[in-house]
A and B are shown apart, each in its own frame.
Chain A
Amino acid sequence: MGTYILKRLLAMIPTLIIISVIVFILIQLPPGDIISANLAALQQQGMEVSTEQIEALRAQYNLDMPLPLQYFHWIFNFMQGDMGYSIKYEQPVNTLIWERLGYTVIIAVASLLFTWALAIPIGIYSAVKQYSFGDYLFTVIGLLGLATPSFMLALILMYCAYTWFGISVGGLFSPEYAEAPWSLSKTADLLSHIWIPMIVLGTAGTASIMRVMRANLLDELSKPYVVTARAKGVRPMKLIFKYPVRIAINPFISTIGWLLPTLISGEAIVSIVLNLPTTGPLLLQALLSQDMFLAGSFLMLLSILTVLGMLLSDILLAVVDPRIRYE
Chain B
Amino acid sequence: MLVSKNAAQKPYKRLALRGSLVSARLLVLALLNLPQPGLAAEINPAIWPASWLAPAKTASELNITDFKEPPLLAALVENGKLPPLSARLPLDPMVLEPADSIGSYGGTARIFESDWNMFNPVESPLSIDPTVAHILPNTIKTWELTDEGRTITFKLRAGIKWSDGEPLDADDFIFFHRHQLLNPELSPVLDPRWLDSRTEKVDDLTFSYHFKEPFPLLINLMAQLGDYYVIPSDYMRQFHPDFVNREALIKRIRQEGYISWMAYYNAIRLWTRNQPPLMPTLRPFQLIKRTATSKLYNRNAYYAKVDPQGQQLPYIDKINADIIENQDVLAAKAATGQVDFAAFELKTQDFPLFKLGEKTAEIKVHVWKRLHGSDVIIEPNLNIRDERLKAVFQDIRFRKALSVAINRDEMNSIIYFNKGVPRQATVIPTSRFFEPTFASAYTEYDPAQARIWLDEMGLTDRDGDGFRDYGNEERLTITLEFLDFETPKNISLELVTSYWREVGLDIRLKEVDPALQTSRATAGLMQMTVWHADRTTDILFPFQPMWYVPMHTGWEESHWNDWATYYLSKGLRGERPPAEIIQLQTWWDELTRSTDPQRVTTLGKNILRSTAENLWTIGTVGLAPQPVVVGHRLKNVAVQGYWGWDNRWTMPYHPATWYLEK
Interface residues of A (CB under 8 A from B): 30-32, 36-37, 39-41, 43-46, 48-50, 52-53, 56-57, 59-62, 82, 85, 89-92, 94-95, 99-100, 103, 155, 158, 162, 168-173, 175, 178-179, 272-275, 277, 281, 285, 288, 290
| B519 interface hit (Cβ, 8 Å) | yes
Contacting pair A90 B270 (CB below 8 A): yes
Residues of B contacting A39 with CB < 8 Å? 518, 555
A162 to chain B, nearest CB (A): 6
Chain B residues 560-616 with CB under 8 Å of chain A are none
| B554 interface hit (Cβ, 8 Å) | yes
Contacting pair B336 A162 (CB below 8 A): yes
> Residue among B258, B267, B325, B555 with the most chain A CB within 10 A?
B325
Contacting pair B296 A30 (CB below 8 A): no
Main secondary structure, interface of B, reads loop
Contacting pair A91 B273 (CB below 8 A): yes
B172 to chain A, nearest CB (A): 21
Can you report 10 residue pairs joining A to B where beta carbons are below 8 Å apart?
A30-B515, A40-B518, A43-B554, A50-B189, A92-B257, A99-B274, A168-B333, A175-B320, A179-B289, A272-B325
Taking a contact as CB atoms closer than 8 A, the residue among B258, B296, B486, B534 that contacts A92 in the complex is B258
Residues of A contacting B35 with CB < 8 Å? none
A105 to chain B, nearest CB (A): 14
Contacting pair A169 B329 (CB below 8 A): yes
Contacting pair A91 B266 (CB below 8 A): no
Q: How far is the CA of A238 from the CA of B564 in the complex (A)?
A: 83
Contacting pair B325 A281 (CB below 8 A): yes
- Top 5 A-B pairs ranked by shortest CB distance? A56-B188, A92-B257, A32-B515, A277-B292, A53-B189
Q: How far is the CA of A57 from the CA of B336 in the complex (A)?
A: 43
Taking a contact as CB atoms closer than 8 A, the residue among B110, B257, B336 that contacts A169 in the complex is B336
Contacting pair B332 A169 (CB below 8 A): yes
Residues of B contacting A95 with CB < 8 Å? 257, 274
A317 to chain B, nearest CB (A): 36
Contacting pair A31 B515 (CB below 8 A): yes
Contacting pair A85 B258 (CB below 8 A): yes
B473 to chain A, nearest CB (A): 35
Q: How far is the CA of A55 from the CA of B466 in the complex (A)?
A: 48
| B260 interface hit (Cβ, 8 Å) | yes
Taking a contact as CB atoms closer than 8 A, the residue among B272, B332, B555, B645 that contacts A90 in the complex is B272
| B63 interface hit (Cβ, 8 Å) | no
Nearest to A154 among chain B residues (CB) is B329
Q: How far is the CA of A169 from the CA of B334 in the complex (A)?
A: 10
| B514 interface hit (Cβ, 8 Å) | yes
| B328 interface hit (Cβ, 8 Å) | yes
Contacting pair A48 B554 (CB below 8 A): yes
Q: With contacts A90-B263, A169-B338, A170-B333 known, is A85 near B257, CB below 8 A?
A: yes
Residues of A contacting B324 with CB < 8 Å? 170, 275
Contacting pair A48 B552 (CB below 8 A): yes
Residues of B contacting A100 with CB < 8 Å? 292
| B196 interface hit (Cβ, 8 Å) | no
A52 to chain B, nearest CB (A): 4
Residues of B contacting A273 with CB < 8 Å? 326, 328-329
Q: With contacts A90-B266, A91-B273, A169-B333 known, is A99 near B291, CB below 8 A?
A: yes
Taking a contact as CB atoms closer than 8 A, the residue among A40, A45, A175 that contacts B322 in the complex is A175
Chain B residues 371-420 with CB under 8 Å of chain A are none
Q: How far is the CA of A44 from the CA of B486 in the complex (A)?
A: 10
Contacting pair B516 A31 (CB below 8 A): yes
Contacting pair B272 A89 (CB below 8 A): yes
Contacting pair B518 A36 (CB below 8 A): yes
Taking a contact as CB atoms closer than 8 A, the residue among A103, A175, A275 that contacts B329 in the complex is A275
Contact with A along B316-328 (1 / 0, CB 8 A): 0000101011101
Q: With contacts A40-B518, A48-B544, A277-B292 known, is A94 near B333, CB below 8 A?
A: no
Q: With contacts A85-B258, A169-B333 known, is A46 near B188, CB below 8 A?
A: no
Contacting pair A60 B262 (CB below 8 A): yes
Residues of B contacting A281 with CB < 8 Å? 325
Contacting pair A277 B263 (CB below 8 A): no
Nearest to B254 among chain A residues (CB) is A82
> Can you name 10 extra interface pairs (CB under 8 A) apart from A36-B515, A40-B515?
A31-B519, A39-B518, A48-B544, A56-B189, A90-B270, A91-B257, A168-B333, A170-B326, A272-B325, A275-B326
Contacting pair B515 A37 (CB below 8 A): yes
| B472 interface hit (Cβ, 8 Å) | no
A28 to chain B, nearest CB (A): 13
Q: How far is the CA of A173 from the CA of B338 in the complex (A)?
A: 13
Residues of B contacting A62 with CB < 8 Å? 259
Contacting pair B259 A85 (CB below 8 A): yes
Q: How far is the CA of A266 from the CA of B482 in the complex (A)?
A: 31
Contacting pair B326 A272 (CB below 8 A): yes
Chain B residues 259-291 with CB under 8 Å of chain A are 259-260, 262-263, 266-267, 270, 272-274, 289, 291
| B151 interface hit (Cβ, 8 Å) | no
| B293 interface hit (Cβ, 8 Å) | yes
Residues of A contacting B329 with CB < 8 Å? 158, 169-170, 273-275
Residues of B contacting A172 with CB < 8 Å? 293
Residues of A contacting B333 with CB < 8 Å? 168-170
| B203 interface hit (Cβ, 8 Å) | no
Nearest to B644 among chain A residues (CB) is A46
Residues of B contacting A31 with CB < 8 Å? 515-516, 519
Residues of B contacting A45 with CB < 8 Å? 645
| B517 interface hit (Cβ, 8 Å) | yes
Residues of A contacting B534 with CB < 8 Å? 46
| B147 interface hit (Cβ, 8 Å) | no
Residues of B contacting A275 with CB < 8 Å? 293, 322, 324-326, 329
B549 to chain A, nearest CB (A): 14
Residues of B contacting A103 with CB < 8 Å? 292
Contacting pair A43 B555 (CB below 8 A): yes
A286 to chain B, nearest CB (A): 13
| B78 interface hit (Cβ, 8 Å) | no
Taking a contact as CB atoms closer than 8 A, the residue among B225, B294, B513, B518 that contacts A178 in the complex is B294
| B66 interface hit (Cβ, 8 Å) | no
